[in-house]
Structure 1
Amino acid sequence: MAAPSDGLRSVTAVRYVTPLRSGGSVPGVVEADDLGTYVVKFTGAAQGRKALVAEVVVGELARRLGLRVPELVLVHFDPSVAGEEPHQEIQDLLHASAGLNLGMDYLPGAADFAPDALEVDPAEAARVIWLDAFTANVDRTVHSPNLMTWPAAGPREPRLWLIDHGASLVFHHRWDGAADAVGKAYPFQHHALGSRRPDMAAADAELAHRVTPKLLREVVAAVPDEWLTAEAGFTTPDQLREAYVAHLAARAEISAQWLPAPFPARPPLPA
């Protein structure tokens, strides 16, 4: 198997800018030695390392399926770079997170997705919903879209970007019951893009066959070894990686069992 960091660059934090208190994990804006700025999710947060594993697996899978996700990087973090942070609870989080954490490219000027502010193509909406159904991501609702709008480059119309996948892959919180979740369907009636008349059958035909064991191995190889240790029932990180591959590959093969419905049908094309 490829080295765990294949596909993700590594950077070192040089300045802690500010905490982001909008989410329960309290990520922080950090400047790094590559002159980039990142939103960093920390291993010491209450959600723990499995949230970061889910961020990598789902984010990198989404990217390979043609969806837009800000670049993910591995961030080496020394709490001393945040010496001026005045809040003790933030300092406690940062000191509990010394070492390797996960960064997401900061998109300057990006805005939270607002349903009335951006037209989303039904085909793109269906791809996003398919990904969420496949990875059991029920945390992209009308009340919590976890979507951003941002120009790809220059003065273009805002484009849709996917963020915050830490709540996905529910099965990995209880591996002894993971087999029972392979074909499980999750409720998506309140998905943030459900009103865009997504053609789920078309999305399934386009995406399911692309989720091969080879692709999944490329994705899980990006997860660092240290986030895959001390898991009951597994002796090595590679053994655990193969469990992710097996579960997700099996789920892709039976997509008809969990494909979400109903959604409004797409209007017929003009004659």
Structure 2
Amino acid sequence: MWLSMRIITPLFLLLGGVRGKDNIEKCKLVSESESAKKALRLLEPLTQENFTVAVEDEKEKYSYTFRVCGDVDGLTNAGLVQLKDSGTKVRIGNYNQTRVIGGSDWILLIYEGGEKYESHCSKEARKAMIMISCNKDTKGKFSVVLEDREKQEDCYYLFELDTSAVCPVIPSKLSAGSIFLIVVFCCLSVYILGGFLYQRLVVGAKGVDQFPNYAFWSEFGNLSADGCDFVCRSRGNREEPPTYRGVATEPIEEEPEERDDHLLPM
């Protein structure tokens, strides 16, 4: 069973990645460029999801549903659809007429070719603009910003989508010294923990004897001091000089006493 799961899981991941790539290719760019294709590829993780937001104004309630390079509510080529409370569906933009502008941590996705206005904006086709911004704390937060239709042309619907999919990858800043210290710390932790368990469970040690190689480490300080003493200190005669320089260190022999008895008169 475990072996089967290990084989099947990578297959699912591989198929999911291929499917996401196929969905991205459904988006037809109005103006193709390498920068637009690169920005569009960043949206592959979002191709399997629908993003919906409900809106209520003075007249009625309705909702917007957005999908990256996929059909919404079964409408062919419809990437963003407005669903009114009455059940009417309005195509806001098509993903087969896509424009993409990418930045460092944002992507502006534009769907053109929606249904034409009935009386506004010179009856031109609707257009959806979705500002997709980096937000590491959420997978996908979809919201409506505005509908700009109070002009003669170039009207649009503006939406925001906060997601972590477009966040730039931050490279590791660990230096070689930091990596070395981490490896040493991990090895030391394994040594102490493994040795402790072995001494306690296998050898049956108690108290401080549970520490691995306790006899060696208890003598390590003395051995280090002896090594330092041997290498760094002089081994010659270290007799301290006398306190007063004018006094000889060897005992002074007493001079023989001169007797002058022979000088006395007899």
Do they superpose with TM above 0.5? no
TM-score, length basis structure 1: 0.20
More strand by share: 2
Question: Larger C-alpha radius of gyration, 1 or 2?
Answer: 2
